[in-house]
Structure 1
């Protein structure tokens, strides 16, 4: 499906009170490498003031795949030397700019987690290349668990941002300037692999999608680099990741970043010079001051998983080091994706990701609306993740023969043509073994009810 959709809203970045807005590119191995303090604030906000142009973001960047992280502060807007590189689009180019395409659509946007890809450095003639890159990147991201088990919860959209020139600034050399829609550029803040964007421009394009819960900017480049902005907009999308379109490691940018934005997970690497953490108990679900024994006795955080074999290797416990500190903070496993690029999410991490998915999506979705009555012979279809099961009932009584069916008609369920009012209800429950938290488990059941006409 391909169509042009008007922008439904103007996205603004919400400043988090007291808040941490972290930009993460790739996970890293633990290292005793000098580093600046972890990001602790967002300087500036979308306040409409004269100082908006001076807004900055704290960012985390990585100089090579699996390299050691650093922190710096970068402008939210485009540097003047890049902003000046601009010519107006032609009429035909402008007509294509902002087109929205459905890459994956599993159900209504209200029921799904909507991922929006925006391209940069793709000319009008290269938009099909952008669409192919989106499909490739989504295949890579959704091959990682728990994405792989929950593909039915996602819609994926591609927003065409037409650039005057192909490629992005800073590729291959620092002095290369290209006229692109989002002003993507390497050598951000003088750091070669840090791939920054004009966040306001990104937001204006993301707003054209029917819904934006997570945004990925694909920059037309083979060069290694990226970034991942962990922020929440006023319209609800969680995070912006930037990645090179044709670099083999770039999909890990988005995977690691969504650990922050969707899973609300902390980084699990640390620096020797940070010493011992002495602050309050961290809010993130994968970081604690407690030992494994204390977690179990106090029934805190990931205690339900302790002793179980984790997909990232080894058993779940309480491993010293995390959240940048080598001492005073423990993490669930030795080496998950929140510590090292290319690893799996740990068992507690997977549960946190699933919780994040369900903050945006519902277990049960249907293209058949419930606001109007359906006929006896009309098909009612539902979608649900692979770990979920569905039951059907008529007037409150389950039709056991219909268990597991994803398409039924009221007549096939036994609704009689008797002129009386009847209801059909579908109830879905996600039975995944990847969730142990009872509070989350309660959110894993959903139902829809339809009125039936003769």
Structure 2
């Protein structure tokens, strides 16, 4: 196991674990280079880009007996690899499946795993998302992607839309016909038209009419969840419909919600609840530029400290009067990418320390 990005303790960050497949012992250097390159491209996509400081990234080596993966370049090719990566899964050439039990055993070697990305040693186009996997390690899901295809980073982003954002695919197949089932649970597809969503205050009604980063206005566009009729999506053409696009506004909000299922808005290397002195430096970390930090001495805000990420109790006005005092830092993420009040409440944090000397 090798750390690629470390932004803080695993209990307060979203830990992404890359596991390689189809890399021999002699190719492990290539695997680690591929991980670094892939993460840089993923982290450049919103909302990953705005929340880069939320993530730790780990690379776990899995040594395969043979280089490459099964189904590359054609269906009859079989390779002996650690995770059994194979194209043509379920008869679909681009579907890149893995042995999830083996993935679990390797992911467990990382300090923590909230999301697993299997990077398969191949230049062939493909990937898959496992968002209903049951993991004893505790991760949300598994995304697979090939290492060397030009669109593999976008495949990984799309698949994490399933695992982290719990988003549905927004594309369709003509042969699926008309959807007649129950209202889908995913936040980005619905049986309801825009006026029905607004009237019932359901799904993405808070975003209706807003200009979305993937282009156009949020509305209800027919076709999604594989069905050309009977289901609607929020925008014409987002990342969950076409690779290389932006997440639409409801999708971006869902991804931020997924990030914060695992990561904290406010962290510090000074243990919360610890005793500190008047001259001790207390530094906090926040995940995004939109986060506002406030400091309190014995419950009263010290306005001149607002926005600072490091203070001393002395700077906050704590005097050497022999009494015990409490210093508190709070953080609120004010991002305009969130409109759900419940999620907004989760984008807050508070840490306190006792001043005793």
Q: The TM-score by the shorter chain falls in which range?
A: over 0.9
Distance 1:295 1:186 in 2: 39
1:47-446 alignment runs, 5 A limit: 100-188=1-89, 191-232=92-133, 233-384=135-286, 385-446=288-349
Distance 1:294 1:184 in 2: 44
CA distance in 1, matches of 2:11, 2:30: 29
Aligned-pair distance for 1:258? 1.6
**Cα distance, 1:222–1:106 mapped onto 2, change above 3 Å:** same
Which is worse superposed, 312-321 or 287-296? 287-296
For residue 51 of structure 2, give the secondary structure of its aligned residue in structure 1.
helix
Q: Equivalents in 2 of 1:424, 1:354: separation in Å?
A: 29
Deviation at 1:191, TM superposition (A): 4.8
C-alpha displacement at 1:335, in angstroms?
0.9
In the alignment, which residue of structure 2 is the partner of 1:81? none
Unaligned stretches of 5+ residues in structure 1: 1-99
**Please, what TM-score do these two structures have when normalized by structure 1?**
0.74
Shift of 1:249: 0.7
- Cα offsets for 1:1-55 (capped at 9, x unmatched): xxxxxxxxxxxxxxxxxxxxxxxxxxxxxxxxxxxxxxxxxxxxxxxxxxxxxxx
Question: Is residue 108–residue 366 contact of structure 1 (8 Å, CA) maintained in 2?
Answer: no
Taking structure 1 as reference, are residues 223 and 326 closer, same or farther at Cα in structure 2, changes over 3 Å only? closer
Instruction: Give the distance between the partners of 1:172 and 1:319, measured in 2 at CA.
Output: 37
Q: Take 1:127 and 1:373, find their aligned partners in 2: how far apart are those partners?
A: 45
Cα separation, 2, equivalents of 1:274 and 1:170: 27
Q: 8 Å contact 1:228–1:253 — kept in the other structure? A: no
Q: Is the Cα contact below 8 Å between 1:244 and 1:250 reproduced in 2?
A: yes
Higher RCO, Cα 8 Å, sep 6+: 1
1:106–1:383: 8 Å Cα contact kept in structure 2? no
- RMSD of aligned alpha carbons: 1.8
C-alpha separation in 1, matches of 2:63 and 2:269: 32
Per-residue deviation, residues 137-194 of structure 1 (Å, max 9, x unmatched)? 1111111111111111111111122233433334345554444322323344555433
Is the contact made by 2:209 and 2:218 (CA closer than 8 Å) also made in structure 1? Answer: yes
Deviation at 1:197, TM superposition (A): 1.9
